[in-house]
Amino acid sequence: MDATKIGIFCLGLFAFAMAVLGELSLGFALGSMAAVEAHSTPGWGIRMLGLIDLALAWTLALMAVEIIRPVGQLAKLQGFVTLVLSIFGILAGLLLIFTTLSLLILMVSLLLAFPFGTAVYMAAWAAFPADAAQATLALLMIFKLIGIALFMVATPGLLKNKGLILLLGLSVGLTFLTGLLIGFVPGVVAAIADVLGALISAVAGTIWMVVLLVGAIGSVLRAIRSTVT
C-alpha cells in the first residue's frame, strides 16, 4: 500500500479512536450530569458502546500493523494476545451484562412501585439529559461514518472482509439503536431506555468477544502446530 493510502487509513483509525474516547469519557460526563449518587449513574448506553468498539479498535489495529509493516512472526503473537484480550473481554462483558440488567430491573421496579418507589426513581433518574445524549450519539455516528469512508478509500478490498464489515455494521447499528431508544420514549423514562440500549450493546459485545476467542484459539493452535512441525 502506498504512503497516501496508509495516511488515509490512519486518519480512519483516528476518527474511530475519537469515537471510542467519546464513548468512554462523554458517557461518564452525561452520568455525572444526571446522577444523584455514584451507584445510580445514567449514561450507560454511550459507555457500553465502548465494548464492541474496543473489539473493533483491536481488529483495526491489527490491520494497520499488517498494512504498514507486515511481519510474519507477528501473526503468531497476535493470536496469543487476542486470546488473552478476548478472555478478559468476555469476563468484563458478563459483568457489564449483570450490572446493566440489575440496574434495569431496579429502575423499572422503582418506577412501577407507586408512590414511594416512583418518587425515588423520579429523584434519581427523571432528569436524564436525553438531548445531550442524542447529540453525543450523533457526533459519535459522524466520527464512525467518516472512519468507514476513509477505510473504504484506503482499502477497497475491505468489502471482502465479511467479519470486519459485520463488526463495523454492529458499531454503527448499536449507536443508532441507542439514540433511537433514548429519543423514542418520553423524557421521564429516557434513563430506562438508555440502560436497555446499554444491555443490548453489552450482550452484542460479549458475543463478539466469544467470536474473537474462537478465532484466537484456532490461530494459537495453528501456530503451535506449525512450530512443532
Residue ranges per structural domain of the chain: 3-218
**Which of 22-31, 39-48, 74-83 has the largest mean confidence?**
74-83
Q: How confident is the model at residue 71 (pLDDT cuts 50, 70, 90)?
A: low
Tell me the mean pLDDT in the region 133-151.
91
Cα torsion angle, 131, 133, 137, 143, sign: positive
pTM: 0.85
What are the counts of helices (DSSP H) followed by strands (DSSP E) for the chain?
7, 0
What is residue 129's DSSP assignment? -
Nearest residue to 189 via CA among 116, 89, 73, 104:
104
Would you say residue 42 has pLDDT above 50?
Answer: no
Would you say residue 194 has pLDDT above 90?
Answer: yes
Q: How confident is the model at residue 7 (pLDDT cuts 50, 70, 90)?
A: confident
- The confidence score (pLDDT) of residue 5 equals 82
Average pLDDT, the chain: 84
Tell me the mean pLDDT in the region 39-43.
49
